[in-house]
Amino acid sequence: MRTKHSHPLFAVSLLGLAIASSIAQAQQREEVEEVVVTGYKASLQSATNAKRESTSLVESVFAEDIGKFPDLNVADSIGRIPGIQLTRDINGDGLQIAIRGLGTNFTKVLLNNTQIAVASGGSVDSQNQNREVDLNLFPTELFTRIDVAKTPVASGLEGGLAGVVNMRSARPFDSKDEGFHTTYQGQLAYTEINEETSPRAAFTTSWRNETFGVLFGLAGVNSKSTTEGYETIGWSNMNLSAAQCGTATAAACDTIGGNNINVPATVPEGAGAGLVAGTAVDAAFLQANNPNATLQQIGDGLLPRLSRPAYIDGTRDRVAGLLSLEYRPSDETQFYLDAMWADASREFDRLDMNWVGRFGSVIPLDMEVDENNVVTKGTFANAQFFLEARPYSEEKIPAAIIHGLPPILILTILVLVGYLPVAA
């Protein structure tokens, strides 16, 4: 038989500790005068207030939201706003933005309410350079607010038919308290395709008193990227002759236009696929060697004009700095000077193995098409290939610079000076 023993002394001790702890907590609560909690709710409230105070349709993204996502540049952050479409580079980075379906050249981009004048180089292989702004130059870490105005107002700058994007850089008085404030972050990204690690780091430090403040920020990234894929430059169909179409004219085998992939009249030497040189390539030949397609499907079937597996490998570097001076002699007036510097470069190689359908000369065998008239299968004798090896070396240099400085300092300098009421 087991005997139960009680220890009242021990129980009293525990009760005494609990009472003492409660008294200590009560004393601590009495000493705390104010508790301020900021977080996701504060971000939503800030965005709501910005919409309420605006006289037009405006979407705003604040620093709390920007920092929640692993965006490499401002374009990726803006792309999360409803109604915004991104133009991306071949490696997936956001480059330019379009609003409500209009082209990117209809979007006006501002930095602290001042227009940025940049001659865009566009994405890789772009043929038409323009006056758009490549936003992969600007790191998210140096910005605290992004506003996208989707409707025009009389006070806005002209040229933003689709909308106006205003990027607000960090300033000393963004910190509510006086003194020094420093933030920093680091990131390492590992990609399996190239087994490389890409570092990313940023920090900002600021000091302010009641009327004056200084902020300095620096952000850099060294991204090693590899892209593999399959692409084509356009589509077209075969240019069959009347004899190959089996009709008086070739129009019956060309109902969609195009016709810039030639088919030889006879099998040339070295065509391959077991074909005998000199054999006539006519309607009977095509029908016999393509039992799963009609002559019209052979003539109208869509083929890549220049199809190629592509391999792109290299590095993308970007370093950006921010210096901001702010003076607030009163609650209604502020003076500020913001200077931003950035240098972005890309060094990479592109390799392509091209199948020449554009103005080439092929003989279709066992060709099949789907319900959309796209060729899904086939052997093409007498095909041509060529290898492209293209090294790229690019520098992103905005046009707004300070003249008179050494070349190494005028790579990318944007200086904005303003005198505004705080309420604006």
Q: In degrees, to the nearest 5, what angle opens at C-alpha 62 toward C-alphas 60 and 67? A: 135
Model confidence at 227: pLDDT above 50: yes
Domain tally, the chain: 2
Contact assessment for residue 124 and residue 312, using Cβ atoms and an 8 Å cutoff? yes
At 162-173, the pLDDT tens digits run 888 888 888 899
pTM (two decimals) = 0.64
CA dihedral 171, 174, 179, 181 (to 10 degrees): -80
200 phi and psi angles, rounded to 5 deg = -145, 135
Show Cβ contacts of residue 296 under 8 Å, excluding neighbours closer than 6 positions. 245, 252, 253, 255
Distance from the Cα of residue 285 to its chain's centroid: 50
E strands, 89-211, are: 94-99, 107-111, 114-115, 143-149, 163-169, 179-191, 196-208
**380 in the same domain as 261:** yes
361, part of any domain: yes
Query: How many other C-beta atoms are found inside a 10 Å radius of the C-beta of residue 281?
Result: 24
Query: How many other C-beta atoms are found inside a 10 Å radius of the C-beta of residue 109?
Result: 25
The backbone region for 199, taken as left when phi is positive above 0, alpha when psi lies in -120 to 50, beta otherwise, is beta
**240 in the same domain as 389:** yes
327, part of any domain: yes
157 falls in which pLDDT band (50, 70, 90)? confident
Q: Given 140, 169, 198, which residue is the final one in a domain? A: 169
| HSE-up of residue 8 (Cα within 13 Å, Cβ side) | 0
Model confidence at 368: pLDDT above 90: yes
At 271-289, the pLDDT tens digits run 989 999 999 999 999 999 9
- What's the CA gap between 328 and 211, in Å, rounded? 5
22 phi and psi angles, rounded to 5 deg = -65, -40
Q: Given 169, 185, 205, which residue is the final one in a domain? A: 169
Provide mean pLDDT across the span 418-424. Answer: 36
The CATH number that applies at residue 145 is 2.170.130.10
Mean pLDDT estimate for the chain:
77
Q: Given 169, 188, 222, which residue is the final one in a domain? A: 169
Per-residue exposure over 110-128, b if at least 16 CB sit within 10 Å of its own CB, e if not = bbbbbbbebebbbbbeeee
Residue span of the structural domain in which 373 resides: 171-424
**383 in the same domain as 355:** yes
Provide mean pLDDT across the span 138-165. Answer: 81
Model confidence at 22: pLDDT above 50: no
Show Cβ contacts of residue 176 under 8 Å, excluding neighbours closer than 6 positions. none
Question: Between 345 and 18, where is the model more confident?
Answer: 345
At 293-306, the pLDDT tens digits run 999 999 999 998 88
Query: How many other C-beta atoms are found inside a 10 Å radius of the C-beta of residue 242?
Result: 15
